[in-house]
Amino acid sequence: MESLEMLANNIANQSSPGFKADREFYSLYMSPDAVATAGAGVSPATLPVIERNWTDFTQGLLNSTGNSLDLAMSGKGFFVVEGQQGPLYTRNGSFQLSPAGVLQTQKGYAVLDTENRPIKVDVSRPVEVTSAGEIRQDGNVVAKLKLVDIQQAGAVEKRDGTYFKLSDPTAVSPSPAEVHQGKLEASNVAPAEATIRLVSLMRQFESLQRAMQLGGEMNRRAVEEVAKVGS
């Protein structure tokens, strides 16, 4: 069920720009009863169990959109935005301008510059973004995107959609990633692979469900037989 929920979320976000797929890390489980009943020289029975999920940060394809406010990154790194409870990190560069000229995400989070300030531009003038992340208007640099690379994968906590939060805000460093204006990074979910895995998981789920039903039926019949002998 955990695998199905995770995979369904991946498939639901396969068209979300900058989305990073989740995957399972499996381990083996040995119940105390299995260990206690195993005889000499006999290994106790083990079952696979999901120990934890991990996020695949592989870069997705960069698709041209023609929108000057759509930004993508090639290489390791994240855009930094101002969340409701502190900075958030994302690869989703589908940005827009507020009426006041603040560059923000589709959820309304302000995009931050290298000074941790919301980026603000003149809405009446075209915006140019260089590969280094400089935002220019009329040839003048008005701000520079804050691009960071996360040094500790274990410090990353996935949030809603394409956003990430850090449990340790110091685990970042400047990113050398290249910015591409007029492009968006596609999700790194492979639809064909996800569909095949979903079918396989559904079959496994149905098999386990039938086994549980069969076990319950056998227990019920055993109880009925004991009752008949007792009468």
Helix, strand, or coil (residue 226): helix
Within a 13 Å sphere around the CA of 207, how many CA atoms are in the beta-carbon half? Answer: 6
* Contact between residue 205 and residue 212 where contact means Cβ atoms under 8 Å apart: no
The CA distance from 35 to 218, in Å, is: 25
Residue reference for tokens 């396969």: 14
H/E stretch holding 104: strand 103-105
* Contact between residue 72 and residue 177 where contact means Cβ atoms under 8 Å apart: no
The CA distance from 43 to 83, in Å, is: 51
Q: Give the Å distances, CA to CA, from 158 to 11, 55, 151.
A: 16, 8, 16
pLDDT at position 39 = 57
pLDDT at position 224 = 78
Computed on alpha carbons and rounded to an integer, the radius of gyration of the chain in Å comes to 25
What tokens does 29 get? 């489980």
Distance of CA 104 to the CA centre of its chain: 21
H/E stretch holding 201: helix 191-230
pLDDT at position 217 = 86
Q: pLDDT tens across 213-230, in order?
A: 888 888 888 887 776 666
- Residues with Cβ within 8 Å of 40's Cβ and at least 6 positions away in sequence, in order, are none
- Residues with Cβ within 8 Å of 52's Cβ and at least 6 positions away in sequence, in order, are 25
pTM higher than 0.85, yes or no?
A: no
Residue spans of beta strands (DSSP E) within 106-222:
110-111, 128-129, 134-137, 140-144, 147-150, 156-158, 163-166, 172-174, 178-181, 183-185
What residue ranges of the chain have pLDDT lower than 70? 25-52, 227-231
